[in-house]
Amino acid sequence: MHDFRTHTCGQLGEAQIGETVKLSGWVHRKRDHGGVLFIDLRDTYGMTQCVVDEDSPLINEIDKWRNESVITITGTVRKRAEGTANDRLATGAIEVYIEGADMQSAADVIPFQVAEDDGTGEDHRLKYRYLDLRREKMQKNIRLRNNVIRSLREKMWNKDFQEFQTPILTASSPEGARDYLVPSRLHPGKFYALPQAPQQFKQLLMMSGFDKYFQIAPCFRDEDGRADRLAEFYQLDVEMSFVTQQDVHDTIQPVIEQTFREHANFTGEERKVEWLPNLPYKEAMLKYGSDKPDLRNPLEIVDVTEVFNRDDVEFKAFKGVIAKGGVVRAIRAPKVSEQPRSFFDKLNGWAQKEGAPGLGYIVIEGGEGKGPIAKFVSAEATKQLCEIAGLEDGDAVFFVCDMEGKAANMAGKARDAICDSMDAAGIETREKGVYKFCWVVDFPMYEFDEKAQKIDFSHNPFSMPQGGLDALENQDPLTIMANQYDCVCNGFELASGAIRNHKPEIMEKAFGIAGYGMDTLEEKFGGMLNAMRFGAPPHGGLAFGIDRIVMLLADEPNLREVYAFVMNGAYEDQMMGAPTPAMEEQLKDLHLKVNMPKELVKKEEAA
């Protein structure tokens, strides 16, 4: 017989009754039923109930074992007593009577419960992550992650993509976030950067003639932490040669769609997968106030600036903003007129917490407007408002007024807040049990950076502008659209990609508009620029965030719930103690000195 096990803790059933077996695992729970001691023995495959009674010479020793100790037991499989079977367990029809037992590793008193959720805070869970990972939910989530990655990899192989590994120590690249820098010992004063994405390398692979590339790529971005963003993350990175935007979509869409269908019912809830038509960026910002809208929410935003700019509308708060070039956006909330005043007051309070003066509204009853703003709007203006916003009796319409960019952002947040409030009030609004995908397309190539007071790239700097060199030379840069696209699902950006610029003259012009001179271009991107000069194929690709895919499938609100080992929201590793101060010898080797912020030095001195 094997030293540790003949079966796993999820294998035994009635077919093994009467057999002598050996199991190893963790003590999940112990239960003393008046001289009969039950142990639920757990491994990653399942759970088996083991039993020892007062007649056994082992009972006193086994009774001392703590939960989470690792043990090996030998015993006979027998059918559970009538009425005690557990249908929730694969092994619920049997139990193992313990005839031999060995302690492999005794556990100290555990800092929180593993067998159940005892409400332990995240920092404590992360400090003892190895215990947290023993929990059933975490085991399921990490297995889901493995299965999703395997599924994606197999599908890419089946489409004749080759898998590559690109460098981790590389040069800094303008991907829109801060780089993590690594000092070079051999080259004093110089630094490597951890890749925000393998962008240049995958394009260089296309220029090397490989045609189809993919990678489960680690990426690093020094951004502030939040629930759907981590410093270190993984993506399905893809690039293809001789393709159009539609070719990329047609190739990768079935991969993602099939992967979601395979795992859609992971939580036990029946969930559909729907792919909606492409959504232009401008339309997304107008109708949904976001370039990653949750399309399960049916509420839409409309522009009603012309209504509040009429002579027979006297609402000065809006008119003053319109006079400065601002806009008024409206969101229809169907059939909420019978809701109590508190429904509207809560939304007004929510808007104030978001930094807005409030969330003005009008309720339509009998074809007339009622509410705080209604008295400032004439009957004719109300009629026009109803036509534009599609209002009917019993509806309410909420307003946001600001400059266009800020109005879109606030209206997008308000759209979701109104939907949530309607759902909470029992008016089912957001569609359930569905993953709604779409491609957001036609992103602007450039944007105006108010802080720097200059034109800069709005998305990926290596994208091909729509209209090519002619557009760069003859159009207002802020009107140029790029061959860029995002895949969004249920309010999350799952992927971002583009058809790439493959011509050096276009790259030089595009970067020049964003303020990068030829010296900078040669220094930062000389490798790719030179490669273009030796014949580069038209190519494009994208990258899907694996962590967000798993987060959606697991129905988890936080990426940290789908990673084995991860830092907290402040990017501290509670378990390993990172980040840590460097030793003086290490700094000397790297030719570095630490220049601490003065306020932090004062704080430490005071402590």
Sequence-ordered strand ranges (E) for 249-316: 272-275, 279-280, 301-303
Residue 216 one-letter amino acid: I
- CB neighbours (10 Å) of residue 60? 10
Lowest average pLDDT, out of 162-176, 250-264, 457-471, goes to: 162-176
Q: pLDDT, tens digit, for every residue of 19-68?
A: 999 999 999 999 998 889 999 999 999 999 999 998 899 999 999 999 99
Contact 274, 437 (CB under 8 A): yes
CA separation, residue 186 to residues 62, 224, 527, 555, 585 (Å): 58, 31, 22, 47, 15
Q: For residue 418, list its beta bridge partners.
A: none
Tens of pLDDT, residue by residue over 548-602, are 999 999 999 999 999 999 998 888 899 999 999 999 999 999 999 998 888 877 7
CB 552 within 8 A of CB 273: no
Quote the DSSP letter at residue 543. Answer: E
Q: Write the pLDDT tens digit of every residue in 577-592.
A: 999 999 999 999 999 9
Q: Which CATH class is domain 14-105?
A: mainly beta
pLDDT at 224 over 90: no
- pLDDT class for 228, splitting at 50, 70, 90? confident
Which overall architecture, per CATH, does domain 297-430 show?
A: 2-Layer Sandwich (3.30)
Omega before 579 within 30 of 0, i.e. cis: yes
Give percent above pLDDT 70 in the chain.
Answer: 99
CA atoms within 13 A on the CB side of 477: 17
Convert the pLDDT of each residue in 464-490 to its tens digit: 999 999 999 999 999 999 999 999 999
Tokens of 529: 């620029």
Residue 174 pLDDT grade (very low, low, confident, very high; cuts 50, 70, 90)? low
Angle at 89 between CA 85 and CA 92, to 5 degrees: 30
Rounded distance between C-alpha atoms, residue 418 and residue 410, angstroms: 12
pLDDT tens digits, 385-427: 999 999 999 999 999 999 999 999 999 999 999 999 999 999 9
What's the confidence (pLDDT) of residue 175?
59
How far is the CA of 152 from the CAs of 159, 255, 257, 414, 542, in angstroms? 11, 7, 11, 36, 14
> CA distances (Å), 512 to each of 115, 300, 329, 529, 530, in order?
60, 38, 36, 14, 17
Strands (DSSP E) contained in 207-277 are 212-220, 232-241, 272-275
What is residue 395's DSSP assignment? -
Q: Give the residue from 238, 233, 235 showing the smallest Cα distance to 252.
A: 238
Query: In sequence order, what E strands does 221-262 have?
Result: 232-241
How many whole angstroms separate alpha carbon 63 and alpha carbon 47?
19
Q: Where in the chain is the domain with CATH 3.30.1360.30?
A: 297-430
CA dihedral of residues 383, 387, 392, 398 (deg, nearest 10)? -90
Assign 227 a pLDDT band (cuts: 50, 70, 90). Answer: low
| pLDDT number for residue 527 | 85
* pTM of the shown model: 0.91
pLDDT value, residue 354: 94
- The CA distance from 408 to 422, in Å, is 21
Sequence ranges of the chain with CATH classification 2.40.50.140: 14-105
pLDDT recorded at residue 597: 86
Inter-residue contact 26 to 69 (CB < 8 Å): yes
**Residue 102 is encoded by which pair of tokens?**
């060995």
Query: How much is the average pLDDT of 306-314?
Result: 93
Structure tokens at 142: 């990490």
